[in-house]
Structure 1
Amino acid sequence: MDRLQAMRVFTRIVELGSFTRAADDLSLPRATLTHTIKRLEERVGAHLLQRTTRSVRPTRDGEFYYNHCVRLLADLDAVEADFREAASVPKGKLRVDLPSTAAGTILIPALPDFFARYPQIELEISTSDRFIDLVQEGVDCVLRSGELSDSSLVARRVATLSQVTVASADYVRRQGIPLTLAELQDGHLAVNWASPTTRRVTPLEFMVGKRMREVPLPSMVTVNGAHAYLSCCEAGLGIAQLPAYRIVDQLSRGALVELLPATPPPPMPISVVFASQRQLPLRLRVFIDWVAEQLRDMR
């Protein structure tokens, strides 16, 4: 195995924390990886990996060597991509993770258009609302809502969605319609949303002029999934705040009732998130552009 391939093997083991997972990811026998790392350590004259019963971690020398490998490999990939791209077509497998609602209602129905444009791209799609570790799980990009805090990732905002505060018609008949935020806090219930990652409950949010105000309410139920959140609201279990595009039909039928339209929730940003790279693979760039195109007219 040549030196560059050995560097790629080493960086993947560090990123996945496992010889076995790296071997699966690279489609190589585990014994080949073990032999490669042994030869690499002999070549550089340093112990690069610390093995335990549960994981593999770089030594101090290994961390130093890893950082240099990442930069060198990124530069090489960028140079090769520049030469290939003019004559190439987007191709290869992409692993993406999408929120279940956006996937089912917007993106998956539009996939025939994507494959008509890019027939040599293969998509592997997972749907969830949980935190995805892109490097550890081998995912190329995720579509996520809300403000993003992980500075090690790159985010491209592709849409900003208006949101609506709603309750079911049955809830309104039982509890009445709050006309002010003060009335909202007097005896009303929320369907509480908890972050799938932190489990922190997010209070209801309202724009009062140009300022955002949080209003926590008691709740009979707390959920961490988009479908469950809407279903609980439709079942009359409390007030919820949802993207307007998701509930057009329910509002038009009167199954859900908009509350406090003068103080709407703040808009929800939607972003495609991917690991920091100097040169994105062409297949990933065209997929991100296509997602942005599908969501561009959403409100």
Structure 2
Amino acid sequence: MQNLEPLLIFIRVAEMGSFTHAADSLGIQKGRASTAVRKLEDDVGVRLLHRTTRKVQLTEDGRAFHARARDLLAEVDDLQSMFAGDRVALRGRLRVDLPTELARTAIVPALPEFMATYPELELEVSSTDRQVDLVQEGFDCVLRIGPIGDETLIARPLGRLRMVNAASPAYLARYGVPRSLDDLRLHGHRAIHYTRTFGAKPYGWEYPDARESGGYATLPLPGALHVNSVQTYEAAGLAGLGLIQAALSGIRRHVVSGALVEILPDFRPEPLDVSFVVAHRTNLSRRVRAFMEWSKEVLEPDLDSAGVQSGQKPGEVGAPSSKAAR
């Protein structure tokens, strides 16, 4: 087939399970998507999709065709960019998902440079703290902090996000500046507890401990406030409601301004693994590669030099690094 667009439309419809959503993600009319898939079915001589008023599903023939078509498009994209290097401008649409705080504090502020470098590239940025479905929601790549959670996805580790302990000057004026873990226990210090599910038992204050198999342990600390939002967690720390453990990238501006003060620098919590995640293929498009390489440079100051370790742990930028997010 000389025109590969019908294959791209078919793949997007199949993976998103909707002509409407697929058309929106590709920036085309729904009727155009429907016509392209119908003609593709006529060309190959089989029905590829079951259509109902509620959903679209692959037929048995459609599943086999989808797998081959996906591989074919990946190979074509790789072939077209093989000798392009920087001589050919990046064009088309790139759809990415980023953790909310990382998008707000690091990636988006630096985007003018990226978009000036690639002015013909159209970028769609989703920002959420849930784990999106790359395939169903049509993302080209996702920046994920913590575990990947799906063995069919391909993760490209970037590094480990540096975490710190912090509190507001008002809090420290009331409770004192802790110099040791014993100070946390003996002087009535309180932590703000972050959890995705209210009612779950708090996991405590995380600190390095060579005696533990994972190298880190947790210290139970009281706290009257439980939150389930990264932004609320940060705001509670700024308000002096308790101690927080957060990604330095998310709270750096507050540390620089003095609104938050780093404490216990020798007892920082475990860094969080950061990865770019893509679906299905190892041959990445130039668009994805360019965005990944640029993002890694942007995040480099906030990543520990140590390589990503196995056994990734969940978490969010700005959220406590303890196992409370599990």
Cα 1:175–1:8 change in 2 (3 A) is same
In 2: Cα distance, 1:281 partner to 1:174 partner: 54
Report Cα offsets for 1:143-195 as digits up to 9, x if no partner. 33334333333333334332112223333344455555566467543322234
3-state secondary structure, aligned to 1:137: coil
> What stretches of structure 1 of length at least 5 have no aligned partner?
none
Identify which range, 281-290 or 184-193, moves more after superposition: 184-193
Q: Which residue of 2 aligns with 1:289?
A: 293
% identity of equivalent residues:
39
3-state secondary structure, aligned to 2:266: coil
> What stretches of structure 2 of length at least 5 have no aligned partner?
304-326
Q: Which runs of 4+ in 1 moved over 6 A?
A: 199-202
Q: Which residue of 2 aligns with 1:192?
A: 193
Q: Normalised by the size of structure 2, how large is the TM-score?
A: 0.74
Q: Which amino acid aligns with 2:206?
A: E
Cα 1:142–1:222 change in 2 (3 A) is farther
Q: Does 1:244 align with 2:248?
A: yes
Q: Which residue of 1 aligns with 2:25?
A: 25
Q: 1:271 aligns with which of 251, 271, 275?
A: 275
Report Cα offsets for 1:223-263 as digits up to 9, x if no partner. 34332221111112222101234444544665434444332
Contact 2:92 2:121 in 1 (8 A): yes
Contact 2:78 2:285 in 1 (8 A): no
In 1: Cα distance, 2:81 partner to 2:256 partner: 50
Deviation at 1:266, TM superposition (A): 0.9
Deviation at 1:17, TM superposition (A): 0.4
Identify which range, 52-61 or 24-33, moves more after superposition: 24-33
3-state secondary structure, aligned to 1:134: coil
In 1: Cα distance, 2:302 partner to 2:109 partner: 15
Cα 1:221–1:276 change in 2 (3 A) is farther
In 2: Cα distance, 1:67 partner to 1:86 partner: 30
Deviation at 1:57, TM superposition (A): 1.7
3-state secondary structure, aligned to 1:291: helix
Q: Which amino acid aligns with 1:61?
A: D
Deviation at 1:265, TM superposition (A): 0.3
In 2: Cα distance, 1:34 partner to 1:165 partner: 54
The residue correspondences of 1:1-299 to structure 2 (distance < 5 A) are 4-41=4-41, 44=44, 46-82=46-82, 84-85=84-85, 87-176=87-176, 181=181, 184=184, 188-195=189-196, 203-209=204-210, 211-215=215-219, 217-248=221-252, 250-251=254-255, 255-298=259-302
3-state secondary structure, aligned to 2:135: helix
Identify which range, 268-277 or 8-17, moves more after superposition: 268-277
Aligned length: 297
- Provide the alpha-carbon RMSD of the alignment: 3.5
Contact 2:74 2:284 in 1 (8 A): no
In 2: Cα distance, 1:117 partner to 1:31 partner: 34
Contact 1:192 1:223 in 2 (8 A): yes
Q: Which amino acid aligns with 1:239?
A: L
In 2: Cα distance, 1:111 partner to 1:29 partner: 29
Contact 1:155 1:271 in 2 (8 A): yes
Contact 1:49 1:57 in 2 (8 A): yes
3-state secondary structure, aligned to 2:95: strand
Q: Which amino acid aligns with 1:13?
A: V
Cα 1:52–1:220 change in 2 (3 A) is farther
Contact 1:195 1:201 in 2 (8 A): no
Q: Which amino acid aligns with 1:296?
A: E
Q: Which amino acid aligns with 2:265?
A: P
